[in-house]
Amino acid sequence: MHTPTPQVTLQPVTSDNYEAICELPLSDPQKDMLASNTWSLLEAAYNPGYQVRAIHADTELVGFMMWVPQSAQRVSIWRFMIALPHQGRGLGSLALQAAIREIAADPVVREVEICYHLDNEGSRRLYARHGFVEEGLDAEGQDMLAVLGVNG
């Protein structure tokens, strides 16, 4: 029997959901590749312009995302995770599409960038499917930087 695709939305992070976001689980190898949601929420609290979103599949919290302005024309997705029990269902793809739509709603933005750990093959494939083009290593020389053109 075919399970219908859930409605994936990006919701505000609030006093009602931030603790659940901090407790979203990842596999041990994934924990080594991603900053914690707790740290990300702390960063966003003290940096104007940082945007955080809870990822929901229908009404269930399944992930977290944060993006930051790099310049007037470029936004960088710094954090993006789907909790371990919800991986492999296409939710990351739907959440990424929703984030790109929200970011691109600003007509000044021309590029969305994302970085990922060199060993994270799943992320590389996901971002490539959505049109991100690898540009090489980031400024620290640790992660791959990929860029998607929007509004142009």
pLDDT of residue 120: 85
Q: Smallest Cα–Cα separation from 8: which of 132, 76, 102, 140?
A: 102
Q: Which residue in the block uniquely carries the two structure tokens 């939710």?
A: 91
Inter-residue contact 85 to 25 (CB < 8 Å): yes
pLDDT of residue 122: 87
pLDDT of residue 34: 84
On the question of pLDDT at 3 being above 80, the answer is no
* Exposed e or buried b per residue across 35-51, where buried means at least 16 C-beta atoms within 10 angstroms of its C-beta: eebeebbebbeeeeebb
pLDDT of residue 2: 64
Mean pLDDT of all residues in 102-130:
94
On the question of pLDDT at 21 being above 90, the answer is yes
Six token digits for residue 10: 């990006």
| pLDDT, the chain, mean | 94
E runs forming strands in the chain: 8-12, 51-57, 60-69, 74-82, 111-117, 133-137, 143-149
pLDDT of residue 1: 61
Encode pLDDT of 40-73 as tens digits.
Answer: 999 999 999 999 999 999 999 999 999 999 999 9
Measure the CA–CA gap between 11 and 143, rounded to whole angstroms.
Answer: 28
